[in-house]
Amino acid sequence: MTIEQLVDPDESNSAVARLSRPWHDSKGVTVMRGVGWTLIYAGFLILGFVVHQLFITNIFAQRAQDTLESELAVRIDDGAQTFAYVDPATGDVVEVPEFDPTVGGGSSGGGVDLGEFEDRLFAYESAPDLGEALGTIRIPDIGLDWTIVEGVRLSPDLKKGAGHYPDTPIPGQAGNAGIAGHRTTYGQPFHDLGELNPGDRVFWDSATGTHEYEVREVFVVRPSELWVLDNRDGAWLTLTTCHPKWSATERLIVVSEMVGGPNFGLFGEPT
């Protein structure tokens, strides 16, 4: 190539032509620009995810809680509490909805003669439909106060806060009642559950009144360890949540035993 060709701006491959070509036409710059915009979009996508998990899910849960509180008030006002006894022959819970201790008195309340089963009566409520309000759990030591929904389906039950395992007894009754709740999203009802220690108090408010529990154990298991919900003699309440925070790898378990309330002492002495 001659000097004339090198400096001729009309020669497409001349040095002058190459140097004067717009910089943004180069392939490398185009690729870099594409990578840059991709990273910017990815950044917005991740930022949106953080905002969604930290704030948007809490808004959904709080709105659901408002509805649940109203539902629970109606459930309690409608007299969801009845009485029941455990049939010693079969071990089944026998509900006596027509029994009314304020009428007639004694073992014939409301005209129902319970005979020998009168001493076995306890305050009873049947579970509502899945997704409906069941009761309120309060743990003053960690500032927890949440209305509990029936069911532990990821959606919609647990998106409303915390839910009662339908296959376990209702809190306030005999056996091992289970409640699961989010730890970091959807209102994070069980965010501070790890701060509980044996001896701390847990309160359960429902149609049967207020029952008081005392924390016995706090431990961590794998998510598949269903034995934590196995039934027990006496009256227990087991809370489960994710562990560690922002992780699905383990479950934090808080086991508490009934130490007060209308049904206290009816299912055996506490340990």
Partner 1 sequence: MIRWVYRSLPGPTALRMSLFVLITLIFLVLLHFFYSWVGDTFLDPGGAVE
Q: Is 222 exposed, middle or buried (0-12, 13-18, 19+ CB in 10 A)?
A: exposed
Q: Using the rule CB under 8 A, is 180 a contact of partner 1?
A: yes
Q: Is 127 exposed, middle or buried (0-12, 13-18, 19+ CB in 10 A)?
A: middle
Compare residues 147 and 263 and give the one whose CB is closer to partner 1.
Answer: 147
* Cα-Cα-Cα-Cα dihedral sign, residues 33, 38, 42, 48: positive
What does the per-residue mask of binding to partner 1 show for 7-46, with x meaning CB under 8 A? ------------------------------x---x-----
Q: Using the rule CB under 8 A, is 185 a contact of partner 1?
A: yes
Among 20, 197, 224, 271, binds partner 1 (CB under 8 A): 224
Closest CA to 134 of 115, 160, 99, 96: 160
What single-letter DSSP state applies at residue 53?
I
Count of residues making up the chain: 271
Stretch that binds partner 1, among 21-29, 52-60, 142-150, 203-211 (CB under 8 A): 52-60
> Two tokens at 3?
């000097």
Among 58, 82, 136, 184, binds partner 1 (CB under 8 A): 184
Q: Using the rule CB under 8 A, is 142 a contact of partner 1?
A: no
Kindly identify the residues of this chain, within the stretch 155-174, that bind partner 1 according to CB under 8 A.
155, 158, 162-163, 165
Kindly identify the residues of this chain, within the stretch 246-265, that bind partner 1 according to CB under 8 A.
246-248, 251-252
For the range 92-96, what are the long-range contacts, defined as Cβ-Cβ under 8 Å and sequence gap of 24 or more? 93/124, 93/173, 93/174, 95/124, 95/126, 96/121
Q: Using the rule CB under 8 A, is 226 a contact of partner 1?
A: yes
Q: Using the rule CB under 8 A, is 225 a contact of partner 1?
A: yes
Compare residues 18 and 37 and give the one whose CB is closer to partner 1.
Answer: 37
Task: Please name the residues in contact with 266: beta carbons below 8 A apart, sequence gap of 6 or more.
Answer: 120, 122, 174
Residue numbers at the binding site for partner 1 (CB under 8 A): 37, 41, 48-49, 52-53, 56-57, 152, 154-155, 158, 162-163, 165, 180-186, 190, 221, 223-226, 228-229, 240-242, 246-248, 251-252
